[in-house]
Structure 1
Amino acid sequence: MTDTREIFATTPEGDTVEIVTLRGGPATARVMTWGATLQDFRLGGIEHSLVLGSPVFEPYRAGMKNYGAIVGRAANRIAGGRAPLNGQTVQLETNEAGRTAIHGGSDGCGYVNWALAGHSDTTATFTLTLADGQAGYPGNLTLTATYSLDDEGALTLEITGETDAPTFCNIAHHSYWNLDGTPTLDGHTLHVDADSYLAIDADKIPLNGPEPVAGTRFDFRKPRTITTPEDTPKLDHNFCLRLPGTPMHPACTLRAGGLQLEIDTTEPGLQVYDGSGLNSQAPGHGGAPYGPHAGVAIEPQKWPDAPNHPDYPQITLSPGETYRQVSRFHVTRI
């Protein structure tokens, strides 16, 4: 095994941020300890990175906070930061406009330095413990995330979690994908393996149960463009995936520039965000800042605000249980 580990940066707090370079088949992935982040992903013969990111560390603390990170302990949003847990109401940090809890709080797992527990030419494993009381969440939650590249160049991410007290656990990988290397998603089409989605209110909180995608802007049962005219609803919604009864099932297919990304997952939901609010300010991999619609976030996870909707797939994790999520990201030429 070659030494694929390098020091990427040192934080102002003195933490050493490391990067591991993985190689498998035609693909190369660079993953870093900060946020257990996919910092770069490339296919042989393609000059640009297929995920948005920065060649330097500082932007990951500011305008690129979620780019490629693993977010949680409760990814997505919880209304008012309030949720029932074991007969009590838990008040969480409302770190989105003071109105909702999002991505586990301002010190959630996407915004801290994980430990590199092991690595090889094709795999890297990161670990992190979120302390009891972090952002209002009870329980010490220990997370393990393993990235691996196989001979086909597919990137598999397995995330597990264990707690010493009942808590919430819903983890999501938050890369922004852009397959053709152009400034926007205009040349991309998306297919989502879902017949229903969750309509949302002004705070992006689900209004009720799943609604049919048929006849809406959210119908991606056949491939269609992601970006739409400004007078149509922006896309930052959870899709309720078809569950065929097998642990791993198709989630979506993204196509552009002669490439396609296929995502399979164990998760019942897929949050898709069209990147309409992106403004990285700092230069990205291509040397220019990222603007609106520069990439699409495609995030396998359980449904948002689940604790406040008893009929949703739930995100409570208790002592003795193991949280587990597996997602596979496979880019090929078409």
Structure 2
Amino acid sequence: MKPCVDSRLFGELANGEPVMEFTLDNGQGMLLSVLDYGCIIRSWRVLARHGAPVDFVLGFDTLLDYERDTAYFGAVVGRFANRIGGGRYQSDGNHVQLTQNEGGNHLHGGRRGFHKQCWQGHASGDNELARISMCRLSRDGEEGYPGNLLVMVTYELTASGELRCCYQAIPDQPTPVSISQHSYFNLAGEGDILGHELCVDAARYLPVGPELLPTGQLQEVDGGPFDFRLRRRIGNALAEAHPQLALAHGYDHNFVLARGPGPQASLADPASGRRMDIYTNCPGLQFYSGNYLDGTLGGKGRDLTRHAGLCLEPQHFPDAPNQPGFPDAICRPGAPYSANTRYVIDRWR
């Protein structure tokens, strides 16, 4: 069977706007379901030879759950992923004030960022992969951002079991852009991720202050609780790091990725033998260990409790518009934004 794409009406938003679900089938027993609301990856399933299908990502059953969601399950976040201190920055001599939606700070594009918008989707398939491309125009002033920004998000599911995510944006004014995918992964499809093992190709990370904003320093991981250069069990790492992670109740930190051939990160579930390798051209990777999941949310037949899943978000450095020592995250006319990430699953069949 060759890769293909199916679609169905998933539901209607409170304002009556319809939302479609596109299911990408790689023809080899792997299915990726995507909503044109928030470019949300609702499920990433493999049809196991024995037993029930395994879903690698956390998610909800209804559109209402996604409309109410404040934890960004499976969504694309932007214009700027992560935090901008005070919700403000200065660019080319201009002071810009963004929406403050996490205390006094700006988080993941604001209250109605990319994750709360409907996108225009176009699906296609060929002998090698199934594809869904979604685009929208983020207009001047949306969540306080300057200029119009034409954005396209493309997901491709290959016959070999690889998910490719491509993010492209064209501005008509200088504006911060850092687009990322906020799926919560659990390669076992059940339980928590404390037994998972993580490897990140990063010799430095960004220490944070009380509001989880980076201090501006780049600190060596140096064999301590942020050293994931060799694969480490996440539960053990959390226990070791506890005194340093008291404010976040776990990891919610950005790692400075090495520029080697990759993978830049690798997540493994020893119990099932599955591994997910991540390749990206982004300078940073946010590791969030699902610290604030408290069981009040549920979906797909399970309660979403602490550490039920984790996020690995390739992106620009948090608060980059306010940190002159960080890579420039301002996208300018004539220099389109482009970021690519590949998720490769091993031993899924």
**TM-score band w.r.t. shorter chain:** over 0.9
CA distance in 1, matches of 2:310, 2:4: 33
Deviation of 1:64 after TM superposition, in Å, equals 5.7
For the pair 1:80 / 2:96, whether they are aligned, the reply is no
Supply the AA of the counterpart residue of 2:203.
D
For the pair 1:255 / 2:268, whether they are aligned, the reply is yes
CA distance in 2, matches of 1:199, 1:29: 35
Q: Which of 230, 246, 251 is 1:235 aligned to? A: 251
Supply the AA of the counterpart residue of 2:333.
P
Instruction: Kindly indicate whether the alpha-carbon contact (under 8 Å) linking 2:13 and 2:67 is maintained by their aligned counterparts in 1.
Output: no
For the pair 1:177 / 2:206, whether they are aligned, the reply is no
CA shift in 2, pair 1:332/1:325, >3 Å: same
Aligned to 2:68: 62
For the pair 1:135 / 2:148, whether they are aligned, the reply is no
For the pair 1:29 / 2:45, whether they are aligned, the reply is no
CA distance in 1, matches of 2:71, 2:290: 14
Deviations 1:103-145, CA, capped at 9 Å, x for gaps: 1110100111111134337110101111111111101111101
Gap runs ≥5 in structure 2: none
Deviation of 1:26 after TM superposition, in Å, equals 3.9
Considering fraction of residues, name the structure with more helix. 2
**3-state DSSP class of the match of 1:155?**
strand
CA distance in 2, matches of 1:314, 1:3: 37
Instruction: Kindly indicate whether the alpha-carbon contact (under 8 Å) linking 2:5 and 2:123 is maintained by their aligned counterparts in 1.
Output: no
Between the two proteins, the alignment pairs up a number of residues equal to 329
Gap runs ≥5 in structure 1: none
Range moving further from structure 2, 307-316 or 229-238 = 229-238
For the pair 1:276 / 2:291, whether they are aligned, the reply is yes
CA distance in 2, matches of 1:261, 1:61: 29
CA distance in 2, matches of 1:319, 1:36: 25
Instruction: Kindly indicate whether the alpha-carbon contact (under 8 Å) linking 1:183 and 1:291 is maintained by their aligned counterparts in 2.
Output: no
Matches within 5 A, 1:155-166: 155-166=163-174
CA distance in 2, matches of 1:259, 1:66: 25
Supply the AA of the counterpart residue of 1:78.
I
TM-score (normalised: structure 1): 0.94
Aligned to 2:6: 4
Instruction: Kindly indicate whether the alpha-carbon contact (under 8 Å) linking 1:205 and 1:305 is maintained by their aligned counterparts in 2.
Output: yes
Deviation of 1:232 after TM superposition, in Å, equals 5.0
Aligned to 1:266: 281
Deviation of 1:3 after TM superposition, in Å, equals 6.1
Range moving further from structure 2, 103-112 or 220-229 = 220-229
Matches within 5 A, 1:1-334: 4-24=6-26, 25-45=28-48, 47-63=53-69, 65-97=71-103, 99-120=104-125, 122-227=130-235, 228-229=238-239, 231-233=243-245, 234-244=250-260, 249-256=262-269, 257-279=272-294, 281-285=296-300, 287-333=301-347
